[in-house]
Structure 1
Amino acid sequence: MDDIIASYPVDGINRVKRRHDRGFYDHATVHALLDAAALCHVSYVVDRQPYCTPTLFWREGTRLFWHGSSASRMLRNQSGGQPVCLTVTHLDSLVLARCGFNHSADYRSVMAFGHARLVEDPEEKRRALVMMVDRFFTGRTAHLRLSTEQEIKATAVVSMDIERASAKIRAKGVVDEDYDLPIYAERLPVRMVLGKPEPCPRLMAGVERPTSLNNYGVDRALEKALSEAHVLAYRGDLTRSEP
C-alpha cells in the first residue's frame, strides 16, 4: 500500500489523548519525521525500573534499527522481544504569549511502539552495520577500512517493527485571548543547522573531502540533509559493501 494512504493502527496505546487535531498516524507523516532525525530516545523497563536511552537510529520501511555496545544494558535487555517506545522530536519554535498559561512551543514529534529484537543473523547484522553509516553518508562504507571481526562482535544491532505509531504536530505560533493587553508576545523560530566542517588534523596529505558529503553544507538545515540522505540510501541502486 502506498505511504500516502497507509496508516498505523490506532488504539489506546498510540492515540493522541489531548488535542486530537495535532495527531497524525499516516505512514507519510510519521516516516518523514523519523527520517529527518538522527537521534532518538528508546524507552523500556528492566526489572520494574524505567530507562530512556539516546542513540542513533535509522528506518527501513516500517522497521527501525539502532545500535550500541554489545555490553550495554539497553541492548542486553532488548534482545528477546522487549516492548519499547522510540521517540523523536523536532523543536521548531519557542512561543511567548501574554499569559504564562499560553506560553508554548511549536514542534513535530513521533512515538513509535513495538518489540525490539537483537539482530543475530550474521548477514543481516553486517548489512545493518553498513546502513548504520550509509543511511547518513551515502555509499561511504565502500571507501572505508573493513571492520574487524572483533569490532563487529563488539557492536550490537537491534531492530523493531513499528506496530503502532503517532505523530504530534503543533505549528500555531502565538495563540491567546489577550490581544488587547499591552504585553509583548512573539514566536522564536528554532533551527538546527550544520556548521563548518572541521577536518581531522591528522589527515594524510592530499586527502580531500569527498563530494558525497556536499549534502552536508555549511548553514544547511540538518533535517533536510538527513531526509535527503535517507532517500539516497534507499533509492535502490546503491552498491553496498560489507563493513
Structure 2
Amino acid sequence: MDSAELDRQREAVPDGTPSLGRPVGSKGEDTRRRILAATMQRVAEMGYARATIREIARAADMTSGSLYHYFPNKAEIVKATYLEVGAAAMPRLEAAAAQADGLIDKLVAVIDQGARIVQEYPYAVAFDRAVRAPGTDHAVAKISDGIFASLRDIVEDVIAQAHRNGELNPDATTAGAANAVFAIMRGLYDDAALATAYDFRDTVRALQLLLQGRLITAPSPPE
C-alpha cells in the first residue's frame, strides 16, 4: 500500500477531509479532525475496547449523537484515524528518501523524518498497539499492516537503488539488507512506545551515528 493508495482509502471514508495537521476550511472539517485526535488519544490511553463512542465524544467536546453525524461506528473512526496519519506520514518518508543522496544518507533521513512524525503524533504508537492487541477488530488492524507495508516498500526501494549503484556489500542480499533495516525501524517503533521523548530522541541519534559508522570511535593511543 503506497501513499497514493492511502489517499484513495482516506477519501473513501465518509466526510473525508485533509490530513491531520493541515489548515481546515470549515467547521465540519475542524470537528472531524477533533474527533480523530480524540480517538487516537482515548484508544491509546484506554485500549480499543474501553474507548467507547461516548468516551471519544467526551474527549472531542461533543455529544455522542453529534459524533454519529460524522461516523457510523467506532471501527470507522479508528479506520479514518489510521488513514489520516498514514496519508500525512508516508509522503514525508518517501520525500525524505528521495531528497537524500546515497544509501546511508537516505536511511538516516527516513529515520529522522519518522522520529519527527512520532513526536508530532505522540499518541500514534500507543494507539496502533492498542488497536493491534488481541481481540480487536481484525479488519481495522489490517490498516496498520498496510501502513507498515508502505514503510517496507520505501526501505526496499532504497536498498534496491543502493544495489544498483554498487553501494551494497556483495556479501549481503538485497532481501537480507531490507529485512535488517526494516527490523531496526520496527525496533525503533517499539522503543517509541515505552521510552520518554528525551530517551527516544537519544536513541534515534545513536542509531543515526551507528549507520554513519560514527557511533564507535577508536580509543586514543596511550601517551
TM-score range, shorter chain: under 0.3
More strand by share: 1
Q: Return the index of the structure with the highest Cα Rg.
A: 1
Q: TM-score, normalised to structure 2's length?
A: 0.27
Q: Which has the higher contact order (CA 8 A, sep 6+)?
A: 1
Q: TM-score, normalised to structure 1's length?
A: 0.25
